[in-house]
Structure 1
Amino acid sequence: MNTRDTGFPRADAEHDFLRARRRQVLSRLSNWLRREPDDVNIMLPFAEVVEALGWEGERRVGLRVIRLDSIVGSVDRGRDFDRRFRPTSGRVRQRWERLALASRRGEAIPPIEVYRVGELHFVIDGHHRVSVAHALGLTSIEASVTEVRTKLDPSGIRYRGDLIIKDYRRLFLERVPLTGQARASVVVSDPWDYAQLGEHVEAWGFRLMQDEGVFHDRATIAKQWYETEYVPVVRMLRQADLVGDRTEAEAYMWVASERYRLIRTHRWDDDVMEALRSRRE
């Protein structure tokens, strides 16, 4: 164990708790001095994560040994511990020290219970055990795992603020149900851009149905928009060196709005691209 051992387990357990509390306070101070986002040290709430990603189902996995650093959130105890499961107050001290003492004496500690979302784990039961394991320098812990499937991939979630863009992306994909490579390639950085892009695709689909005199469902419109509008335009943007530091979807949104504002047209041709290039310069 990566801890100081005086040979008196009870005293060591007390020191373990005080050290964990001190580290939590110093971490908050450090974040404040670095002007880190407010949510950088807050445990991820399981319910908000699943809501943002879209719940699809779950299954029992059973007992597994999981990495402590993969445990990033909680079902209902987020206020008692920070993101690294350091105690945020003295409220949990008595139970915490009992578990630390049992661990130092080599007593059997029951597995924790977690939800698994992608590679992330959220504690259902066992917050104190996770906290003690971190304080004692352990890197893994035994857990009873229930895997939760979601509509969106949870990769990229680090802080609570990241859930906003996941939520907007989920809503966008419900409105514009892209699949496969199309789904993966249409990405923006600002959550609100997903709402604007959704409105744009729906308007594009309405014009398509008017032109053809045929009703199309959302999946058909999404596929047609991607293949006949988005891909050719992005190709032209690359050739005209108009993507820049944006994502391709952000570049598409910019030129689509500028095209109509400057030229009052929905068509794409060399004149349109030249006007947009001049606008950028």
Structure 2
Amino acid sequence: MRAGRPDPRRARSFKEAQAREGAFAARDRGIQTVSLERIVGSVSRYRDFDARFRLKKNLPRERLQFIRGAMREGRPLPAVELYRIKDEYFVMDGNHRIAAAKELGFRELDARVIEFLPAPDTPENLLYREKRAFQEQTGLAQAIELTEEGQYAVLLDQVRGHQGYLAGEGRAVSLAEAAADWHRTVFGPLTAILEHSDLPRGFPGRTAADLYAYLSVHQWVRGHARRYGSGIDAFLTANMEEFRMKMQSRAERDYPEMLRRFPVFVLINISARQEARILERLFQIEQVREVHSVHGSIDVVLKAVLTRDLLSSDAEVISRFVQEQVRRIPGVLSTQTLIPGLSRVKEDAP
């Protein structure tokens, strides 16, 4: 096994991770709710558990069975103590409790957390320290993942600006209260819209929070007029507080529904020898509602119902549908697309 790589047969060693990250400055974070998926190792007993935190078969199991039984019966147990390095946790006290909780399918539990901050000034560590400083100042439990240094300061400026705006409305709130309101009515809505758009596909390696930071700075700080796709330009406002007023009455479950469905007709010329096979392939496409073989200069008329989000235009969605779904079928020679303007449809006669 190569040096520096964790042994997949056992839980990871805190001391090895501490030495690798240079993480020696400790901060007591108090009682927190921790996802069990992030508990990857132990301070002193990492040799007793495998990588999935299961007790090795050659070790006594009485204590594990006792704790498992107590958890099943709902008996109170003391909080475990965890050491944190970046986004990974190591058990200082409570190894059997963690093993039992994982075995029983628990997803999270309360723990007293001591965080050890990485010291070397690598780009990764600098970004992590910025994230942790932002979380400490704002009190936001929700993780905001950015990939560029300096962007957490941009978000903190927005929170402080929002705090000042609320004070001007006669609502004197703490920075943490302002941050919670900003996250609920500004950051959350806009990132939800971005996540359900096609925009992230054009920026591999970037997060929705990265796109939020870029868009919000250009839109609300610099006032640059930019086009983000049909619908988004009208949806965004000139400043952050106007956007908040638009979004504060909406529930998060509504954001993915900010979609528009529209019909489109595609006129297709095909190879005559493959007509039956091509018609069947076209009809199997999810968005297709009707396929008709016709006589004249066009061989096939197809009707589809497409869906676009706020950040995409009709043309973008149609182009992707035609290029990726229709024209890739062997035997399709050419296509022409028609978008209805005003439509009227009769119901079927009884």
TM-score normalised according to structure 2 size: 0.35
Q: As a proportion of its length, which structure holds more strand?
A: 2
Normalized per residue, which structure has more helix?
Answer: 1
* TM-score (normalizing by structure 1): 0.42
